[in-house]
Structures are given as structure tokens and as C-alpha cells.
Amino acid sequence: MNSYERFCYSLLGRSVKNKREKYFTLIESLKSARMKTPFEAYLSTIIISSAIAGILGALIAGLITYLINIPQYVTYRGDLGGVGSALNALAEYKLIFGTAIAFLLAFIVFFGITYAGFLFYPSMVAGSRKRNIDASLPYAINYLAAMSTAGITPAEVIRQLGKSSIYGEASIEARYITLEVDIFGRDLLEALKSVSLTTPSSRMRDFLQGAIASIASGSDISNYFKLKSEQYSYENRQTQKQFLETLALIAESYVTAVVAGSLFLILLQSVMSILNGEATPIFLYVIIYLIIPFASVMFIILIDAMTPEV
């Protein structure tokens, strides 16, 4: 924990300890993300940070509302009856009431956005770790197979994997297995089970559970590593093949919708502008400076989200 998290924990740590059942999903996300901040400190940080963001946003919104006098631009032309008479009586306080309402709404919005962002962040980190583990797992298992073939014990093989930095998040999971053995005094099977329950990758979970069964039954762990390495390598090749096929479809869609579609709209709008004698064709500017860039960016984001890590 950093100093800010310790400060938040000192303020609210005791009051959030009884909320573990309510935030079970957050606790699991923190474990899967391998975030070093305890649940009580993280939830305290969420509440304090959200309150600070809400107050700052409310102050800015209230100040802008008061200085610009936004309430004066709000009018209602319908018949409100007795309510209208009451509102007219309070017309001189319109600025004060409007500023107060803006302050309250801004506080709720900024508090809610910050709170939701903090709650969602651990799951985002866990999702990123999952993709990294899935991508590096075949190579990490191949390393385990090569080491175990040399007669090294499974515990030492996993320890050496944890010391290697070239296998990304798979190495971090191996370090947590070693941590369970060295620090908490658990045997290898218990350590493998503990990490399998908290890893964000279903592939890693399946591999660890299979390793538990293989070690417990006394079978040749080297053969198990080799089979799993071949299985995951084949699955990675299939994933890449499917992605290339999907990428070809996306490229055709981009050419059809963005390139050809935009050219058609530009030609159509140019002809219409000439016929109507428009000096400034606004819709043409919208196509060129808004629709085309926005569509291109969206396709880039789509491709980036779909691209599997290798």
C-alpha cells in the first residue's frame, strides 16, 4: 500500500471490514489481478477518492453555474397553476437554487463515475493478465517440460519458471506458487490448488488442476507438460487462423462501408451542393472531418480489441 491508501484505510478501514460478502466479486478481481492492496484498504480508497472527485466536480459545476447564471436561461412557458405562482415568488432566489441543484447533480455524477471506475479497474487488470497468460502459457509449459525432462523436481521447475521474466504473467503465477510453498509453508499440491482458484486464466486453471492430478497420482509429469504444451500451441494456431479470417472480413467491411460509402456520399453531396448553389456544404464537411475519421478510429479500436496476444 502507498501512503494515500494507508491514509484512506486509517479513516474507513474498520467500517468496511464487515462488507466483504457484499463485495465478493471485487475481492476475487483483486486476487486475480494480483493487486497488492488489501480489500479493506482498496474499498476505503474507492470511497474517499469518489467523495473527493464528487466534491471537486460539484464545486466546479456550481461555480460555473453561478458565474454564468445558467438558471436565467431556464424558462417554462406552460401553465403550472399554483406551482407557477410559488416559483414566481421564488424567482429572485433562482440563481441560488439553480447553483445548489447543479452542485448536487454534479456531486452524484462525479461520485458515481469515480466509484464505478475504481470497482471496474481490478477486473480490467485481471482481463489483461488473462490474455497475457493465455498467450505465454504454451511457451512456459514447454520450458517446464524441458526442465522436468532433465530430472528436476516439479517444485524446483516451477521456482525456475518464476525467476524467468520472459514468460510474462505466467511467470508471476509461478512466483505465487513458490510464495505459497516458501512463505506459507504449504506443500506443492496445496499451493497449486490455491493459485488455480485465483488465476484469471481458465487455461492456467485447467493446467494447474491437471498438474495436481498428475503429481498426486505419481504419473510422469514430463509427459503431462509435453501434452499440454502441444495442446495449447495448437489452440493458439487455431486462434490466429480464426483471427486472420475475421480480419479479412473486417477489411472488406471497411473498404465497403468507409471507403466506398464515403466516396459515394461525397459525390452525392457535391452534386447536390452544385444543384442547390450552396457555398458552404455543411454535410460535406461533416463527412470529411467527422464521419470518416470517427469510422476509421472505431475500426482501429475493434481490431485492437480482437487481436490476440502472441
CA distance 116 to 47: 11
CA distance 208 to 173: 10
Tally of structural domains, the chain = 3
Q: At which of 109, 125, 141 does a domain end?
A: 125
Residue 218: per-residue pLDDT: 80
CA distance 295 to 288: 11
User: What tens digit of pLDDT does each residue of 145-190 get?
Assistant: 888 888 888 889 999 999 888 888 999 999 999 999 888 888 889 9
Tell me the average pLDDT of the chain.
85
Q: At which of 125, 148, 171 does a domain end?
A: 125
Residue 77: per-residue pLDDT: 55
Query: Within this chain, do residues 16 and 116 fall inside the same structural domain, yes or no?
Result: yes
Query: Within this chain, do residues 36 and 75 fall inside the same structural domain, yes or no?
Result: yes
Q: At which of 104, 125, 146 does a domain end?
A: 125
User: What tens digit of pLDDT does each residue of 245-268 get?
Assistant: 888 998 998 888 888 888 888 888
Residue ranges of the alpha helices (H) in the chain?
Answer: 3-16, 24-32, 39-68, 82-89, 94-149, 154-163, 169-182, 188-198, 202-217, 221-254, 261-276, 282-286, 292-306
Query: Within this chain, do residues 22 and 120 fall inside the same structural domain, yes or no?
Result: yes
Residue 66: per-residue pLDDT: 80
* N-to-C CA span, the chain: 32
| Better-scored residue on pLDDT, 45 or 233 | 45
Boundaries of domain holding 215: 130-233
Which of 135, 122, 126 minimizes the C-alpha distance to 203? 135
User: What tens digit of pLDDT does each residue of 47-58 get?
Assistant: 999 999 999 999
- The structure's pTM equals 0.74
CA distance 119 to 99: 30
Length of the chain: 310
Hey, is 309 helix, strand or coil?
coil
Residue 309: per-residue pLDDT: 62
Residue 89: per-residue pLDDT: 52
